[in-house]
């Protein structure tokens, strides 16, 4: 599958908002509003996983090579994966949602 095919908008299955495709040559893998994702990949971008469960954003980490990342956990099977925080100018990831996760983690480590 080409990056152009992968980089499409979608309606978030968690919050129902319209999510636009990225403009930086990458592709969107989570909602910029609620930060939820879907468990659809085995290897990032392959869309080869049949689980399809909602991936809940559970933690924010800092990776010295990739910057800030969201750790997602599948609500259906428990699989975890990290995703870079998007700074796309049209729909950047919600700073309020990011800080809420960080605050929750600080209160309940």
> What mean pLDDT is reported for the chain?
89
Instruction: Note whether 20 and 9 are within 8 A (CB).
Output: yes
Instruction: Note whether 84 and 67 are within 8 A (CB).
Output: yes
Instruction: Name residue 95's beta-bridge partners.
Output: none
**pLDDT tier at 95, thresholds 50, 70, 90:** very high
Of 6, 46, 14, 31, which Cα lies nearest the Cα of 85? 31
Q: What is the pLDDT of residues 33-83, one digit of tens each?
A: 999 999 998 887 788 899 999 999 999 999 999 999 999 999 999 999 999
**pLDDT tier at 3, thresholds 50, 70, 90:** very low
**pLDDT tier at 92, thresholds 50, 70, 90:** very high
Pairing of strands 10-11, 80-84: unpaired
Q: How far apart are CA 60 and CA 85, in angstroms?
A: 9
pLDDT top residue among 29 and 12:
12
């Amino acid at each position: 599958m080409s990056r152009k095919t992968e980089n499409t908008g979608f309606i978030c299955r968690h919050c129902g908002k319209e999510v636009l495709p990225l403009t930086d040559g990458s592709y969107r893998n989570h909602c910029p509003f609620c930060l939820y994702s879907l468990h659809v990949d085995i290897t990032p971008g392959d869309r080869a996983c049949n689980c399809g469960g909602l991936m809940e954003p559970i933690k924010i980490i800092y990776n010295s090579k990739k910057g800030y990342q969201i750790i997602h956990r599948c609500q259906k099977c428990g699989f975890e994966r990290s995703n870079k925080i998007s700074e796309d100018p049209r729909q950047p990831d919600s700073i309020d949602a990011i800080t809420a996760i960080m605050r929750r983690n600080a209160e309940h480590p």
